[in-house]
Structure 1
Amino acid sequence: MGAPDPEAADDALALHRAVTDLVRRTRFPVAFGGLARDGAIHVTSIVGARTHSLEGLVVQESRGLGGRALVEKRPRLALDYRSSRSITHDYDRAVLGEGIATLFAVPVLVGGRARGVIYCGSWAEAPVGDVVARPAFAVADALSSELRIREEVQRRLALAPKSPEGATIAPAAREELRRTYAELRSIAAVVDDPAVRERLARVEQRLAALSQDGQRPADHVDVRLSPREVDVLSCAALGATNAEIAATLELKEGTVKSYLQSAMSKLDASTRHAAVATARRAGLLP
Protein backbone atom coordinates (compact mmCIF):
# COMPACT_ATOMS: atom_id res chain seq x y z
CA MET A 1 0.00 0.00 0.00
CA GLY A 2 1.54 3.33 -1.08
CA ALA A 3 1.96 6.43 1.02
CA PRO A 4 -1.01 8.85 1.15
CA ASP A 5 -1.07 11.43 -1.62
CA PRO A 6 -1.12 14.87 0.05
CA GLU A 7 -2.41 16.53 -3.13
CA ALA A 8 -5.35 14.12 -3.30
CA ALA A 9 -6.06 14.72 0.38
CA ASP A 10 -6.09 18.49 -0.18
CA ASP A 11 -8.45 18.07 -3.14
CA ALA A 12 -10.76 15.89 -1.03
CA LEU A 13 -10.76 18.51 1.74
CA ALA A 14 -11.64 21.25 -0.76
CA LEU A 15 -14.47 19.05 -2.06
CA HIS A 16 -15.81 18.51 1.45
CA ARG A 17 -15.84 22.24 2.12
CA ALA A 18 -17.78 22.73 -1.12
CA VAL A 19 -20.34 20.05 -0.25
CA THR A 20 -20.81 21.53 3.21
CA ASP A 21 -21.27 24.97 1.63
CA LEU A 22 -23.80 23.51 -0.80
CA VAL A 23 -26.17 22.53 2.01
CA ARG A 24 -25.77 25.89 3.70
CA ARG A 25 -26.29 27.99 0.58
CA THR A 26 -28.97 26.05 -1.30
CA ARG A 27 -31.00 25.03 1.76
CA PHE A 28 -31.40 21.57 0.25
CA PRO A 29 -31.05 19.14 3.18
CA VAL A 30 -28.55 16.70 1.71
CA ALA A 31 -25.50 17.16 -0.49
CA PHE A 32 -22.71 14.91 -1.64
CA GLY A 33 -19.96 14.91 -4.20
CA GLY A 34 -16.91 13.25 -5.61
CA LEU A 35 -13.94 13.84 -7.85
CA ALA A 36 -13.46 11.99 -11.13
CA ARG A 37 -10.94 9.18 -11.31
CA ASP A 38 -10.58 6.41 -13.90
CA GLY A 39 -13.79 7.40 -15.68
CA ALA A 40 -15.97 7.50 -12.57
CA ILE A 41 -17.10 9.83 -9.79
CA HIS A 42 -15.91 8.55 -6.42
CA VAL A 43 -18.22 10.04 -3.78
CA THR A 44 -16.13 10.89 -0.71
CA SER A 45 -18.11 13.68 0.90
CA ILE A 46 -21.68 13.47 2.18
CA VAL A 47 -23.42 16.10 4.31
CA GLY A 48 -26.91 15.92 5.81
CA ALA A 49 -27.75 12.30 4.93
CA ARG A 50 -30.09 10.33 7.17
CA THR A 51 -28.82 6.91 6.07
CA HIS A 52 -25.57 5.27 4.95
CA SER A 53 -26.91 4.53 1.44
CA LEU A 54 -24.66 6.99 -0.35
CA GLU A 55 -21.44 5.90 1.32
CA GLY A 56 -18.89 4.41 -1.07
CA LEU A 57 -20.93 5.35 -4.12
CA VAL A 58 -19.00 5.19 -7.41
CA VAL A 59 -20.82 6.69 -10.41
CA GLN A 60 -19.57 5.65 -13.84
CA GLU A 61 -19.47 8.26 -16.59
CA SER A 62 -22.70 8.51 -18.64
CA ARG A 63 -24.60 6.53 -15.96
CA GLY A 64 -27.13 8.05 -13.64
CA LEU A 65 -27.69 11.77 -13.18
CA GLY A 66 -24.14 12.58 -12.15
CA GLY A 67 -22.56 10.44 -14.85
CA ARG A 68 -24.47 12.41 -17.46
CA ALA A 69 -23.48 15.73 -15.88
CA LEU A 70 -19.85 14.58 -15.93
CA VAL A 71 -19.85 13.64 -19.63
CA GLU A 72 -22.09 16.45 -20.87
CA LYS A 73 -20.26 19.04 -18.69
CA ARG A 74 -23.51 20.71 -17.75
CA PRO A 75 -25.93 20.55 -14.80
CA ARG A 76 -28.58 17.84 -14.75
CA LEU A 77 -31.83 17.83 -12.79
CA ALA A 78 -34.23 15.03 -11.80
CA LEU A 79 -37.24 16.71 -10.26
CA ASP A 80 -38.81 13.32 -9.53
CA TYR A 81 -35.80 11.02 -9.45
CA ARG A 82 -37.80 7.78 -9.11
CA SER A 83 -39.81 8.30 -12.29
CA SER A 84 -37.20 10.16 -14.37
CA ARG A 85 -36.83 8.71 -17.87
CA SER A 86 -33.90 10.88 -18.91
CA ILE A 87 -31.31 8.96 -16.88
CA THR A 88 -30.27 5.41 -16.21
CA HIS A 89 -31.26 4.11 -12.79
CA ASP A 90 -28.05 2.24 -11.93
CA TYR A 91 -27.81 3.98 -8.57
CA ASP A 92 -31.40 3.83 -7.35
CA ARG A 93 -30.44 1.73 -4.35
CA ALA A 94 -28.13 4.51 -3.10
CA VAL A 95 -30.24 7.55 -4.06
CA LEU A 96 -33.69 6.19 -3.26
CA GLY A 97 -32.28 4.42 -0.22
CA GLU A 98 -31.50 7.87 1.15
CA GLY A 99 -35.06 8.89 0.28
CA ILE A 100 -34.06 11.54 -2.23
CA ALA A 101 -36.88 12.72 -4.48
CA THR A 102 -35.30 15.73 -6.24
CA LEU A 103 -31.65 15.61 -7.21
CA PHE A 104 -29.52 18.33 -8.83
CA ALA A 105 -26.05 17.50 -10.16
CA VAL A 106 -23.48 20.16 -11.11
CA PRO A 107 -20.16 19.29 -12.76
CA VAL A 108 -16.94 20.89 -11.53
CA LEU A 109 -15.03 22.02 -14.62
CA VAL A 110 -11.31 22.78 -14.59
CA GLY A 111 -9.71 23.87 -17.84
CA GLY A 112 -12.50 22.34 -19.88
CA ARG A 113 -12.23 19.00 -18.04
CA ALA A 114 -14.89 17.69 -15.68
CA ARG A 115 -12.98 17.09 -12.44
CA GLY A 116 -15.97 15.95 -10.45
CA VAL A 117 -19.64 16.44 -9.63
CA ILE A 118 -21.42 17.93 -6.63
CA TYR A 119 -25.05 17.06 -5.88
CA CYS A 120 -27.76 18.57 -3.73
CA GLY A 121 -31.02 16.78 -3.02
CA SER A 122 -34.33 17.00 -1.27
CA TRP A 123 -36.36 14.25 0.35
CA ALA A 124 -39.50 15.71 -1.20
CA GLU A 125 -40.08 17.02 -4.71
CA ALA A 126 -38.76 20.58 -4.71
CA PRO A 127 -38.40 23.17 -7.46
CA VAL A 128 -34.88 24.10 -8.50
CA GLY A 129 -35.03 27.76 -9.41
CA ASP A 130 -32.49 30.54 -9.00
CA VAL A 131 -32.59 30.19 -5.21
CA VAL A 132 -30.95 26.76 -5.59
CA ALA A 133 -29.22 26.93 -8.98
CA ARG A 134 -27.28 30.17 -8.48
CA PRO A 135 -25.62 29.23 -5.20
CA ALA A 136 -24.93 25.71 -6.49
CA PHE A 137 -23.17 27.16 -9.54
CA ALA A 138 -21.24 29.56 -7.31
CA VAL A 139 -20.04 26.69 -5.08
CA ALA A 140 -18.99 24.66 -8.13
CA ASP A 141 -17.14 27.67 -9.59
CA ALA A 142 -15.29 28.29 -6.32
CA LEU A 143 -14.23 24.65 -6.11
CA SER A 144 -13.19 24.74 -9.75
CA SER A 145 -10.99 27.80 -9.10
CA GLU A 146 -9.33 26.17 -6.11
CA LEU A 147 -8.59 22.93 -7.98
CA ARG A 148 -7.32 24.86 -11.01
CA ILE A 149 -4.95 26.94 -8.90
CA ARG A 150 -3.65 23.88 -7.07
CA GLU A 151 -3.02 22.11 -10.38
CA GLU A 152 -1.14 25.11 -11.76
CA VAL A 153 1.02 25.47 -8.67
CA GLN A 154 1.94 21.78 -8.74
CA ARG A 155 2.65 21.93 -12.47
CA ARG A 156 4.96 24.90 -12.11
CA LEU A 157 6.75 23.50 -9.10
CA ALA A 158 7.29 20.20 -10.92
CA LEU A 159 8.86 22.04 -13.86
CA ALA A 160 11.10 24.23 -11.71
CA PRO A 161 14.77 23.16 -11.60
CA LYS A 162 15.72 21.52 -8.32
CA SER A 163 18.59 22.79 -6.16
CA PRO A 164 20.89 20.46 -4.20
CA GLU A 165 19.68 19.77 -0.67
CA GLY A 166 20.71 22.53 1.69
CA ALA A 167 21.43 24.98 -1.14
CA THR A 168 19.50 28.15 -1.87
CA ILE A 169 16.84 28.04 -4.57
CA ALA A 170 18.23 28.05 -8.11
CA PRO A 171 17.57 31.31 -10.01
CA ALA A 172 15.34 29.58 -12.58
CA ALA A 173 13.31 27.91 -9.82
CA ARG A 174 12.96 31.18 -7.94
CA GLU A 175 11.72 32.92 -11.09
CA GLU A 176 9.17 30.16 -11.65
CA LEU A 177 7.92 30.57 -8.08
CA ARG A 178 7.57 34.30 -8.68
CA ARG A 179 5.55 33.71 -11.83
CA THR A 180 3.33 31.27 -9.95
CA TYR A 181 2.85 33.79 -7.16
CA ALA A 182 1.89 36.55 -9.63
CA GLU A 183 -0.59 34.26 -11.35
CA LEU A 184 -2.15 33.26 -8.04
CA ARG A 185 -2.56 36.94 -7.17
CA SER A 186 -4.26 37.62 -10.51
CA ILE A 187 -6.64 34.66 -10.08
CA ALA A 188 -7.47 35.55 -6.48
CA ALA A 189 -8.23 39.11 -7.56
CA VAL A 190 -11.26 37.93 -9.56
CA VAL A 191 -12.54 35.28 -7.12
CA ASP A 192 -15.68 36.44 -5.33
CA ASP A 193 -15.80 33.86 -2.53
CA PRO A 194 -14.07 35.32 0.60
CA ALA A 195 -13.25 31.87 1.99
CA VAL A 196 -11.51 30.84 -1.24
CA ARG A 197 -9.62 34.14 -1.34
CA GLU A 198 -8.43 33.54 2.22
CA ARG A 199 -7.18 30.06 1.35
CA LEU A 200 -5.42 31.43 -1.72
CA ALA A 201 -3.75 34.06 0.44
CA ARG A 202 -2.32 31.31 2.64
CA VAL A 203 -0.93 29.52 -0.43
CA GLU A 204 0.60 32.81 -1.61
CA GLN A 205 2.26 33.31 1.76
CA ARG A 206 3.80 29.84 1.61
CA LEU A 207 5.11 30.48 -1.88
CA ALA A 208 6.54 33.85 -0.86
CA ALA A 209 8.28 32.28 2.15
CA LEU A 210 9.59 29.39 0.04
CA SER A 211 11.18 31.74 -2.48
CA GLN A 212 13.07 33.79 0.13
CA ASP A 213 16.80 33.21 0.55
CA GLY A 214 16.99 31.50 3.91
CA GLN A 215 20.54 32.67 4.44
CA ARG A 216 19.57 36.34 4.46
CA PRO A 217 16.86 37.68 6.79
CA ALA A 218 14.33 40.06 5.32
CA ASP A 219 14.98 43.77 5.69
CA HIS A 220 12.77 45.50 8.22
CA VAL A 221 10.51 47.89 6.34
CA ASP A 222 7.60 49.50 8.18
CA VAL A 223 5.31 49.42 5.14
CA ARG A 224 1.88 47.95 4.61
CA LEU A 225 0.86 47.48 0.98
CA SER A 226 -2.78 47.03 0.08
CA PRO A 227 -3.78 43.73 -1.61
CA ARG A 228 -4.21 45.54 -4.94
CA GLU A 229 -0.80 47.20 -4.62
CA VAL A 230 0.73 43.75 -4.10
CA ASP A 231 -1.23 42.41 -7.10
CA VAL A 232 0.07 45.16 -9.37
CA LEU A 233 3.62 45.02 -8.03
CA SER A 234 3.82 41.22 -8.42
CA CYS A 235 2.88 41.58 -12.09
CA ALA A 236 5.31 44.47 -12.56
CA ALA A 237 8.02 42.27 -11.06
CA LEU A 238 7.66 39.99 -14.09
CA GLY A 239 8.20 42.87 -16.49
CA ALA A 240 4.55 43.38 -17.42
CA THR A 241 3.54 46.78 -18.80
CA ASN A 242 0.71 48.80 -17.28
CA ALA A 243 -1.56 47.71 -20.13
CA GLU A 244 -0.68 44.04 -19.59
CA ILE A 245 -1.23 44.34 -15.84
CA ALA A 246 -4.59 46.01 -16.45
CA ALA A 247 -5.67 43.15 -18.73
CA THR A 248 -4.51 40.50 -16.27
CA LEU A 249 -6.19 42.04 -13.22
CA GLU A 250 -9.24 43.36 -15.10
CA LEU A 251 -8.47 46.96 -14.13
CA LYS A 252 -8.22 50.22 -16.03
CA GLU A 253 -4.72 51.21 -17.06
CA GLY A 254 -4.99 54.47 -15.10
CA THR A 255 -5.94 52.49 -11.98
CA VAL A 256 -2.86 50.30 -12.39
CA LYS A 257 -0.68 53.41 -12.65
CA SER A 258 -2.24 54.80 -9.48
CA TYR A 259 -1.59 51.59 -7.52
CA LEU A 260 2.01 51.48 -8.76
CA GLN A 261 2.65 55.08 -7.76
CA SER A 262 1.15 54.44 -4.33
CA ALA A 263 3.33 51.35 -3.80
CA MET A 264 6.44 53.23 -4.97
CA SER A 265 5.70 56.07 -2.59
CA LYS A 266 5.23 53.73 0.37
CA LEU A 267 8.46 51.91 -0.47
CA ASP A 268 10.34 55.18 -1.05
CA ALA A 269 11.28 54.04 -4.56
CA SER A 270 11.64 56.24 -7.62
CA THR A 271 11.00 53.46 -10.16
CA ARG A 272 8.88 50.32 -10.32
CA HIS A 273 12.05 48.21 -10.46
CA ALA A 274 13.36 49.79 -7.28
CA ALA A 275 9.96 49.24 -5.64
CA VAL A 276 10.05 45.56 -6.59
CA ALA A 277 13.59 45.19 -5.24
CA THR A 278 12.67 46.86 -1.94
CA ALA A 279 9.49 44.77 -1.61
CA ARG A 280 11.47 41.58 -2.19
CA ARG A 281 14.13 42.50 0.37
CA ALA A 282 11.33 43.21 2.85
CA GLY A 283 9.65 39.86 2.16
CA LEU A 284 6.55 41.54 0.71
CA LEU A 285 7.14 39.84 -2.66
CA PRO A 286 8.82 36.53 -3.49
Structure 2
Amino acid sequence: MALPALASETELLSRAVGDLAQRTGFPVAFGGFETANMVEVTSVVGNRTQHLSGLVVHASRGLGGRALVEKRPRLALDYRSSRNITHDYDRAVLGEGISTLFAVPILLAGRARGVLYCGSWMPAPFGEGTARTALQVAGDLATELRVRDEVHKRLALLPAPTPSAPVPRVDAATREQLRETYAELRGIAADVPDASIRRRLSVLEARLSEMSRDDTEPAEVLDVRLSRRELDVLSCAALGQTNAEIAATLTLREGTVKSYLQSAMAKLDAGTRHAAVARARRGGLLP
Protein backbone atom coordinates (compact mmCIF):
# COMPACT_ATOMS: atom_id res chain seq x y z
CA MET A 1 0.00 0.00 0.00
CA ALA A 2 1.55 3.32 -1.06
CA LEU A 3 1.47 6.06 1.55
CA PRO A 4 0.26 9.61 0.80
CA ALA A 5 3.13 12.05 0.43
CA LEU A 6 3.61 14.84 2.91
CA ALA A 7 2.96 18.32 1.55
CA SER A 8 6.13 20.38 1.19
CA GLU A 9 6.63 23.68 3.01
CA THR A 10 6.27 25.43 -0.35
CA GLU A 11 2.89 23.76 -0.95
CA LEU A 12 1.66 24.63 2.55
CA LEU A 13 2.71 28.25 2.13
CA SER A 14 1.03 28.48 -1.27
CA ARG A 15 -2.23 27.14 0.17
CA ALA A 16 -2.06 29.60 3.07
CA VAL A 17 -1.46 32.57 0.77
CA GLY A 18 -4.44 31.54 -1.36
CA ASP A 19 -6.58 31.08 1.76
CA LEU A 20 -5.51 34.50 3.04
CA ALA A 21 -6.69 36.28 -0.11
CA GLN A 22 -9.93 34.31 -0.28
CA ARG A 23 -10.89 34.65 3.38
CA THR A 24 -9.93 38.30 3.93
CA GLY A 25 -11.23 39.53 0.58
CA PHE A 26 -8.01 41.47 -0.04
CA PRO A 27 -7.07 41.19 -3.72
CA VAL A 28 -3.35 40.47 -3.32
CA ALA A 29 -1.58 38.19 -0.85
CA PHE A 30 1.97 36.93 -0.60
CA GLY A 31 4.41 35.42 1.85
CA GLY A 32 7.63 33.59 2.53
CA PHE A 33 9.67 31.76 5.13
CA GLU A 34 12.52 33.16 7.22
CA THR A 35 16.12 32.17 6.58
CA ALA A 36 19.10 33.92 8.21
CA ASN A 37 16.94 36.85 9.40
CA MET A 38 15.49 37.39 5.94
CA VAL A 39 12.13 36.51 4.39
CA GLU A 40 12.08 35.67 0.70
CA VAL A 41 8.66 36.02 -0.93
CA THR A 42 8.07 32.75 -2.75
CA SER A 43 4.28 32.71 -3.10
CA VAL A 44 2.09 35.48 -4.53
CA VAL A 45 -1.58 35.52 -5.60
CA GLY A 46 -3.63 38.28 -7.18
CA ASN A 47 -0.62 40.34 -8.26
CA ARG A 48 -0.72 42.49 -11.39
CA THR A 49 3.06 42.84 -11.76
CA GLN A 50 6.18 40.82 -10.94
CA HIS A 51 7.49 43.32 -8.39
CA LEU A 52 6.72 41.12 -5.36
CA SER A 53 8.05 37.80 -6.67
CA GLY A 54 11.42 37.00 -5.12
CA LEU A 55 11.39 40.06 -2.85
CA VAL A 56 13.80 39.59 0.07
CA VAL A 57 12.78 41.36 3.30
CA HIS A 58 15.39 41.84 6.02
CA ALA A 59 14.53 41.62 9.73
CA SER A 60 13.22 44.92 11.16
CA ARG A 61 13.01 46.50 7.68
CA GLY A 62 9.71 47.42 6.12
CA LEU A 63 6.33 46.25 7.39
CA GLY A 64 7.08 42.52 7.20
CA GLY A 65 10.52 42.92 8.77
CA ARG A 66 8.93 44.59 11.78
CA ALA A 67 6.30 41.87 12.05
CA LEU A 68 9.06 39.25 11.91
CA VAL A 69 11.14 40.82 14.70
CA GLU A 70 8.27 41.95 16.92
CA LYS A 71 6.37 38.67 16.40
CA ARG A 72 3.09 40.52 16.03
CA PRO A 73 0.98 41.81 13.14
CA ARG A 74 1.71 45.18 11.59
CA LEU A 75 -0.68 47.34 9.54
CA ALA A 76 -0.08 50.23 7.14
CA LEU A 77 -3.43 51.75 6.12
CA ASP A 78 -1.60 54.08 3.72
CA TYR A 79 1.69 52.40 2.95
CA ARG A 80 3.13 55.28 0.92
CA SER A 81 2.82 57.83 3.75
CA SER A 82 3.41 55.52 6.74
CA ARG A 83 5.98 56.85 9.20
CA ASN A 84 6.04 53.70 11.32
CA ILE A 85 8.14 51.63 8.92
CA THR A 86 11.24 51.95 6.82
CA HIS A 87 10.58 52.28 3.11
CA ASP A 88 13.28 49.94 1.82
CA TYR A 89 10.76 48.03 -0.30
CA ASP A 90 8.72 50.86 -1.82
CA ARG A 91 9.83 49.90 -5.31
CA ALA A 92 8.24 46.45 -4.93
CA VAL A 93 5.17 47.35 -2.85
CA LEU A 94 4.29 50.62 -4.56
CA GLY A 95 5.33 49.16 -7.90
CA GLU A 96 2.58 46.60 -7.43
CA GLY A 97 0.27 49.52 -6.62
CA ILE A 98 -0.47 48.42 -3.04
CA SER A 99 -1.96 51.06 -0.74
CA THR A 100 -3.14 49.20 2.39
CA LEU A 101 -0.90 46.36 3.59
CA PHE A 102 -1.15 43.97 6.55
CA ALA A 103 1.71 41.67 7.64
CA VAL A 104 1.30 38.79 10.09
CA PRO A 105 4.12 36.54 11.34
CA ILE A 106 3.91 32.74 11.19
CA LEU A 107 4.70 31.84 14.80
CA LEU A 108 5.97 28.37 15.62
CA ALA A 109 7.23 27.46 19.12
CA GLY A 110 7.82 31.12 19.89
CA ARG A 111 9.80 31.74 16.73
CA ALA A 112 8.69 33.70 13.67
CA ARG A 113 9.02 31.12 10.88
CA GLY A 114 7.94 33.54 8.16
CA VAL A 115 5.48 36.29 7.23
CA LEU A 116 2.16 36.43 5.37
CA TYR A 117 0.89 39.65 3.77
CA CYS A 118 -2.43 40.79 2.36
CA GLY A 119 -3.01 44.10 0.63
CA SER A 120 -5.26 46.23 -1.54
CA TRP A 121 -4.54 48.63 -4.35
CA MET A 122 -6.80 51.32 -2.87
CA PRO A 123 -7.00 52.55 0.74
CA ALA A 124 -9.23 49.98 2.46
CA PRO A 125 -10.90 49.73 5.86
CA PHE A 126 -9.29 47.12 8.05
CA GLY A 127 -11.47 45.81 10.86
CA GLU A 128 -10.89 43.46 13.76
CA GLY A 129 -12.62 40.63 11.89
CA THR A 130 -10.16 40.84 9.01
CA ALA A 131 -7.23 40.83 11.43
CA ARG A 132 -8.63 37.77 13.21
CA THR A 133 -9.05 35.96 9.91
CA ALA A 134 -5.45 36.69 8.86
CA LEU A 135 -4.17 35.55 12.25
CA GLN A 136 -6.20 32.34 11.92
CA VAL A 137 -4.70 31.59 8.51
CA ALA A 138 -1.19 32.14 9.90
CA GLY A 139 -2.03 29.99 12.93
CA ASP A 140 -3.37 27.17 10.75
CA LEU A 141 -0.18 27.25 8.67
CA ALA A 142 1.92 27.12 11.84
CA THR A 143 -0.08 24.09 13.01
CA GLU A 144 0.49 22.24 9.73
CA LEU A 145 4.20 23.07 9.85
CA ARG A 146 4.46 21.84 13.43
CA VAL A 147 2.72 18.59 12.56
CA ARG A 148 4.83 18.15 9.43
CA ASP A 149 8.04 18.72 11.39
CA GLU A 150 7.00 16.16 14.00
CA VAL A 151 5.99 13.57 11.41
CA HIS A 152 9.27 14.06 9.54
CA LYS A 153 11.17 13.56 12.78
CA ARG A 154 9.35 10.27 13.40
CA LEU A 155 9.66 9.11 9.79
CA ALA A 156 13.41 9.66 9.94
CA LEU A 157 13.54 6.77 12.42
CA LEU A 158 11.99 4.35 9.93
CA PRO A 159 13.83 1.99 7.58
CA ALA A 160 13.65 2.92 3.91
CA PRO A 161 10.77 1.30 1.98
CA THR A 162 11.57 -1.41 -0.58
CA PRO A 163 9.63 -2.67 -3.62
CA SER A 164 8.55 -5.72 -1.62
CA ALA A 165 7.64 -3.64 1.44
CA PRO A 166 6.49 -0.16 0.35
CA VAL A 167 5.22 0.53 3.88
CA PRO A 168 8.22 0.01 6.18
CA ARG A 169 7.59 -1.90 9.39
CA VAL A 170 9.15 -0.78 12.62
CA ASP A 171 10.44 -2.13 15.89
CA ALA A 172 8.40 -1.95 19.09
CA ALA A 173 10.06 1.22 20.43
CA THR A 174 9.58 3.15 17.18
CA ARG A 175 6.01 1.87 16.92
CA GLU A 176 5.21 3.39 20.30
CA GLN A 177 6.75 6.70 19.21
CA LEU A 178 4.59 6.69 16.10
CA ARG A 179 1.51 5.87 18.16
CA GLU A 180 2.34 8.77 20.47
CA THR A 181 2.65 11.09 17.49
CA TYR A 182 -0.68 9.78 16.16
CA ALA A 183 -2.39 10.67 19.45
CA GLU A 184 -0.73 14.11 19.50
CA LEU A 185 -1.85 14.71 15.93
CA ARG A 186 -5.46 13.86 16.74
CA GLY A 187 -5.30 16.28 19.67
CA ILE A 188 -3.98 19.04 17.40
CA ALA A 189 -6.56 18.35 14.69
CA ALA A 190 -9.38 18.50 17.24
CA ASP A 191 -8.59 22.18 17.88
CA VAL A 192 -8.36 23.20 14.20
CA PRO A 193 -11.61 24.86 13.06
CA ASP A 194 -10.83 24.79 9.34
CA ALA A 195 -12.28 21.65 7.74
CA SER A 196 -9.78 21.58 4.87
CA ILE A 197 -6.88 21.70 7.36
CA ARG A 198 -8.42 18.83 9.33
CA ARG A 199 -8.74 16.77 6.14
CA ARG A 200 -5.06 17.29 5.37
CA LEU A 201 -4.13 16.33 8.92
CA SER A 202 -6.22 13.18 8.57
CA VAL A 203 -3.97 12.13 5.67
CA LEU A 204 -1.00 12.27 8.05
CA GLU A 205 -2.98 10.32 10.64
CA ALA A 206 -3.58 7.57 8.08
CA ARG A 207 0.12 7.53 7.20
CA LEU A 208 1.17 7.12 10.81
CA SER A 209 -1.52 4.55 11.50
CA GLU A 210 -0.41 2.38 8.59
CA MET A 211 3.25 2.58 9.53
CA SER A 212 2.70 1.77 13.19
CA ARG A 213 0.46 -1.24 12.61
CA ASP A 214 1.70 -4.41 14.34
CA ASP A 215 1.46 -7.34 11.93
CA THR A 216 2.17 -9.80 14.74
CA GLU A 217 -1.20 -9.06 16.36
CA PRO A 218 -4.12 -11.12 15.02
CA ALA A 219 -6.47 -9.09 12.85
CA GLU A 220 -10.17 -8.89 13.64
CA VAL A 221 -13.05 -7.74 11.46
CA LEU A 222 -15.15 -5.29 13.47
CA ASP A 223 -18.63 -4.07 12.61
CA VAL A 224 -18.04 -1.03 14.79
CA ARG A 225 -17.98 2.68 14.01
CA LEU A 226 -16.37 4.98 16.57
CA SER A 227 -16.94 8.74 16.47
CA ARG A 228 -13.97 11.03 15.94
CA ARG A 229 -14.01 12.07 19.60
CA GLU A 230 -14.21 8.45 20.77
CA LEU A 231 -11.12 7.71 18.66
CA ASP A 232 -9.38 10.82 20.01
CA VAL A 233 -9.97 9.73 23.60
CA LEU A 234 -9.11 6.09 22.93
CA SER A 235 -5.84 7.00 21.17
CA CYS A 236 -4.80 8.98 24.26
CA ALA A 237 -5.87 6.15 26.56
CA ALA A 238 -3.68 3.84 24.47
CA LEU A 239 -0.68 5.86 25.69
CA GLY A 240 -1.63 5.19 29.30
CA GLN A 241 -3.02 8.67 29.95
CA THR A 242 -5.47 9.15 32.81
CA ASN A 243 -8.86 10.76 32.26
CA ALA A 244 -7.47 14.04 33.61
CA GLU A 245 -4.49 13.90 31.25
CA ILE A 246 -6.73 13.09 28.28
CA ALA A 247 -9.00 16.01 29.21
CA ALA A 248 -6.00 18.37 29.25
CA THR A 249 -4.70 17.05 25.93
CA LEU A 250 -8.03 17.37 24.12
CA THR A 251 -9.36 20.43 25.99
CA LEU A 252 -12.37 18.51 27.31
CA ARG A 253 -14.00 18.12 30.69
CA GLU A 254 -12.92 15.05 32.61
CA GLY A 255 -16.52 13.87 32.79
CA THR A 256 -16.83 14.19 29.01
CA VAL A 257 -13.71 12.06 28.57
CA LYS A 258 -15.23 9.40 30.81
CA SER A 259 -18.43 9.40 28.75
CA TYR A 260 -16.53 8.99 25.47
CA LEU A 261 -14.46 6.15 26.92
CA GLN A 262 -17.53 4.34 28.23
CA SER A 263 -19.24 4.72 24.85
CA ALA A 264 -16.19 3.37 23.00
CA MET A 265 -15.88 0.45 25.44
CA ALA A 266 -19.56 -0.41 24.97
CA LYS A 267 -19.27 -0.35 21.16
CA LEU A 268 -16.17 -2.55 21.33
CA ASP A 269 -17.76 -4.87 23.90
CA ALA A 270 -14.77 -4.34 26.19
CA GLY A 271 -14.81 -4.35 29.97
CA THR A 272 -11.76 -2.08 30.40
CA ARG A 273 -10.08 0.70 28.48
CA HIS A 274 -7.06 -1.53 27.89
CA ALA A 275 -9.27 -4.21 26.36
CA ALA A 276 -10.96 -1.56 24.22
CA VAL A 277 -7.58 -0.32 22.94
CA ALA A 278 -6.44 -3.88 22.17
CA ARG A 279 -9.62 -4.68 20.23
CA ALA A 280 -9.55 -1.37 18.37
CA ARG A 281 -5.99 -2.13 17.29
CA ARG A 282 -6.86 -5.63 16.14
CA GLY A 283 -9.71 -4.16 14.12
CA GLY A 284 -7.52 -1.49 12.55
CA LEU A 285 -9.32 1.40 14.25
CA LEU A 286 -6.17 2.44 16.11
CA PRO A 287 -2.49 2.04 15.20
Question: TM-score when scaled to structure 2?
Answer: 0.92
In structure 2, the residue matched to 1:270 is 271
**Conserved? CA contact 1:65–1:105, under 8 Å:** yes
Q: Output the amino acid matched with 2:221.
A: H
More off after superposition, 217-226 vs 91-100 = 217-226
Query: Structure 1 pair 22/168, CA: closer, same or farther in 2 (3 Å)?
Result: closer
Contact 2:226 2:264 in 1 (8 A): yes
Query: Comparing 216-225 with 84-93, which one deviates more in the overlay?
Result: 216-225
CA–CA distance in structure 1, aligned partners of residues 140 and 106 of structure 2 = 9
Query: 1:86 maps to what in 2?
Result: 84
**Distance in 2 between the 1:163 and 1:66 partners?**
40
Corresponding position of 1:175: 176
- The 8 Å contact of residues 54 and 98 in structure 1, kept in 2 or not, is answered as yes
Percent of aligned positions with the same letter in both sequences?
A: 66
Match of 2:51 among 34, 50, 53: 53
In 2, the alpha carbon distance for the partners of 1:153 and 1:142 equals 17
Please name the residue that 1:3 is paired with.
none
- 1:199 and 1:134 map into 2 onto residues whose CA distance is 22
Verify: 1:71 aligned to 2:69, yes or no.
Answer: yes
Q: Is the 8 A contact 2:18 2:45 kept in 1?
A: yes
8 Å CA contact 2:103, 2:116 repeated in 1: yes
In 2, the alpha carbon distance for the partners of 1:284 and 1:29 equals 44
What residue is the counterpart of 2:237 in the other structure?
A: 236
Gaps of 5+ in 2: none
Q: SS at the partner of 2:8?
A: helix
Q: Measured at CA, do residues 141 and 77 of structure 1 come closer, stay the same or move farther in structure 2, by a change above 3 Å?
A: same
Query: Gapped runs of 5+ residues in structure 1?
Result: 1-5
Provide, for residues 152-197 of structure 1, a one-character-per-residue CA deviation record: whole Å limited to 9, x for no partner: 2223444x47599767411000000000000001111111111111
Q: Tell me whether 1:202 sits opposite 2:203 in the alignment.
A: yes
Moved more, 65-74 or 143-152: 143-152
Q: CA RMSD for the aligned pairs?
A: 1.9
Contact 1:162 1:170 in 2 (8 A): no
What does the per-residue CA deviation read over 1:101-141, in whole Å, with 9 as the maximum and x for residues that have no partner?
11100001001000110000010111211232121111111
Match of 1:32 among 30, 33, 52: 30
Q: Is the 8 A contact 1:163 1:170 kept in 2?
A: no
Deviation for aligned residue 1:40:
1.0
Residue aligned with 2:106, SS = strand
Amino acid at match of 1:147: L
